[in-house]
Structure 1
Amino acid sequence: MKQNLITDIIQGMLPYLNNAQSKRLQEILQSTFTNYEITSSTVEAKEAEQDFVELFLAAKRIEGCSEKSLKYYEATITTMIKTINKNVKYIVTDDIRGYLTEHQQKKGLSKVTIDNIRRILSSFFSWLEDEDYILKNPVRRIHKVKTGTNIKETYSDETLEIMRDNCNELRDLAIIDMLASTGMRVGEMVLLNRNDIDFNERECIVFGKGSKERIVYFDARTKIHLQNYLESRNDNNPALFVSLKSPHERLKIGGIEARLREFGKKLGLNKVHPHKFRRTLATVAIDKGMPIEQLQQLLGHRKIDTTLQYAMVKQSNVKIAHRKYIG
């Protein structure tokens, strides 16, 4: 109770004190209150507590975060607040550490997932600190969770050809080629319409994360297969890819994922999913000498570090480079 009172006083004085003065005031208050017993008033404030989570989400929405990301942020932050069961102004570093540890053990979460949670909570508390709602971000002293580096699989040329040769539907062949040659996200592909495709330039504009536009390009084979698919359709849906059966509705992410997963099982292929096409394109591009900055633009990554995580350098090329430059 004493610490909560001190925190409230310090927060009220923040606009008038610098960091050194705030620290000194906190020391004086802690020393002064040592010999006093402080109890909370039985009269509760009538005003409802400000909803910090909603304010944070509103700020993120203005910054351009997608609704999908905002829902994930809200669920992550709300779960933390309910579990710790404290006013956010009084949450300290030990509370967050304990929560992350317990949450990982109870849910059996991976280190990557826990670090994502840590990152979201840090963003939330950093925003509260910047807006002077709290004294300092309690997550700041919790460092990034170290995770092992796993070499993620890509499709070989042979695997891609096996998938193409076994496509019984023109639509499925066009989907595979579109994913393989553009490296676009499946979430970007399902939003495309027929009139978004420029067949002359073999390109189209997609809306990436944060509603950012970028141009992606496809090869001649994709152009032919996509044209064949569109010419075979007899529906009026403007969507680029639709369901095979009437009423031919726009395909959703889950529909494409399920179709590819089923396709992979049928052919005995390991882990066939849309994102693997994106990783494959990045790896092939790096392997053939594409500058990382251009690949970053092609994939629509805000940070080049993300691009580097996608692109896996083949070990055979490392060996060749070693012999070339070192001997």
Structure 2
Amino acid sequence: MSIVANTMIMNDLREKLCDLIPYTTLNLITDAVAEVLERYDVVPIITEDHTKDIMLDAFIDAMRVEGRSEKTITRYKYIIGKFLSYAGVSSRSVTQYHVRQYLASEKDRGISDGTLRGVYWVLSSYFGWLHRDGIIQRNPMSNIGRIKVQKKVREVFTDVDIEKLKSGCDNLRDKAIICFLKSTGCRISEVTQLNRDDIDFQNLECIVLGKGNKQRTVYIDPVTGMIIQEYLASRTDSNTALFVGKGAKRFLPGGVRAMLNKIANKTGVSHVHPHKFRSTEITELVNRGMPVEQVKVLAGHDKIDTTLSYVKVDQANIKNAYKRYA
């Protein structure tokens, strides 16, 4: 019999008997049953598509009511649906053993700890919601330990890197995008959604739509404002998008990444990607003395810990602060 089928039977057996007999006795019984089942070919009967779980549909509806973005909703639905298909049971019948087995199989498949932690949080959110609403009596995630991820310091650009990238641009659009990314620290999805009229050149600011459809104000420096105005003045199309690509169509995140890769290869600057501009700007603002609470608002973070995860503190600043306070 397959290991997966064997484990599923043991999980179901444990769930049925866990409240009836002592844990040590339960282990003896399941071990004996597992030994017997090894001589038989048992296949689990799945009579429904568990990705179409009515409880999952209710959870997705709740996310929409809360104003979660479609991108987030699609991700949650995919992860939860994939897990339910693997478990072969409805949401109401999921146990901690199903969850542990699934996370272990994903780990064996080679996914990173960071990705696995994301799966953990999605499942925790889902089953936590079901438990709080009284739909399930037990939360299968309650005894699942959090997945630890090694903390990595995010890379940032040097001033020389930024100048190299700007000098490697073939046109005003590319230079305007690089300057805007660096000046605002915006996410690439926020940048590509902007329209021409969103930029207030007089006050050098604009309103962007971030995660969870939350609006916030970001600011641009005078040089960036000037370059964007030059770029817009050079355009002859009528597209309302702030940045356009081929055929005067809105420039999408994939196009921006391809453009940055091309400039990186040309200039020799390593590890060039949109989010690195965000890390660079957040780090520089903190190192220049801007309170982290204000940087958090500017970056559109819900938690200050998220902001701090971006920050690479300048050792020279630490040394100067020590001399000042020691």
Deviation at 1:163, TM superposition (A): 1.2
1:274 corresponds to 2:274: yes
Structure 2 residue runs of 5 or longer lacking an equivalent are 1-8, 22-46
**CA deviation digits over 1:145-174, x for unaligned, max 9?**
111111121010111111112222000110
The aligned length equals 289
Q: In structure 2, what is the equivalent of residue 177 of structure 1?
A: 179
Select between 311-320 and 138-147 the one with higher mean Cα deviation: 311-320
Describe the SS at the equivalent of 1:214.
strand
Q: In structure 2, what is the equivalent of residue 118 of structure 1?
A: 120
- 1:182 partner letter: T
Q: In structure 1, what is the equivalent of residue 296 of structure 2?
A: 296
Taking structure 1 as reference, are residues 281 and 50 closer, same or farther at Cα in structure 2, changes over 3 Å only? closer
Describe the SS at the equivalent of 2:248.
coil
Q: Determine which of 185, 188, 191 is the counterpart of 1:189.
A: 191
CA distance in 2 between counterparts of 1:213 and 1:324 reads 39
- 1:264 partner letter: A
1:242 corresponds to 2:244: yes
Contact 2:209 2:216 in 1 (8 A): yes
1:214 corresponds to 2:216: yes
Q: In structure 1, what is the equivalent of residue 33 of structure 2?
A: none
**CA deviation digits over 1:28-72, x for unaligned, max 9?**
xx37xxxxxxxxxxxx9xxxx961111111111111111111111
CA distance in 2 between counterparts of 1:143 and 1:154 reads 32
1:254 corresponds to 2:254: yes
Q: In structure 1, what is the equivalent of residue 100 of structure 2?
A: 97
Taking structure 1 as reference, are residues 130 and 249 closer, same or farther at Cα in structure 2, changes over 3 Å only? same
Q: Determine which of 161, 167, 170 is the counterpart of 1:168.
A: 170
Taking structure 1 as reference, are residues 80 and 50 closer, same or farther at Cα in structure 2, changes over 3 Å only? closer
- 2:216 partner letter: R
CA distance in 2 between counterparts of 1:282 and 1:198 reads 22
Deviation at 1:179, TM superposition (A): 0.6
Structure 1 residue runs of 5 or longer lacking an equivalent are 9-25, 32-43
TM-score w.r.t. the length of structure 2 is 0.83
Describe the SS at the equivalent of 1:272.
coil
Describe the SS at the equivalent of 1:224.
helix
Describe the SS at the equivalent of 1:178.
helix
- 2:261 partner letter: R
CA distance in 2 between counterparts of 1:104 and 1:78 reads 18
**CA deviation digits over 1:257-277, x for unaligned, max 9?**
111112111211111111111
Q: In structure 1, what is the equivalent of residue 57 of structure 2?
A: 54
Contact 2:153 2:310 in 1 (8 A): no
TM-score w.r.t. the length of structure 1 is 0.83
Q: In structure 1, what is the equivalent of residue 44 of structure 2?
A: none
Q: In structure 2, what is the equivalent of residue 306 of structure 1?
A: 306
Describe the SS at the equivalent of 2:177.
helix
CA distance in 2 between counterparts of 1:165 and 1:50 reads 54
Describe the SS at the equivalent of 1:216.
strand
1:224 corresponds to 2:226: yes
Select between 141-150 and 295-304 the one with higher mean Cα deviation: 141-150
Deviation at 1:102, TM superposition (A): 1.2
Contact 2:154 2:311 in 1 (8 A): no
- 1:262 partner letter: K
Deviation at 1:138, TM superposition (A): 0.9
Deviation at 1:4, TM superposition (A): 7.8
1:156 corresponds to 2:154: no
Describe the SS at the equivalent of 1:152.
coil
Contact 2:207 2:215 in 1 (8 A): yes
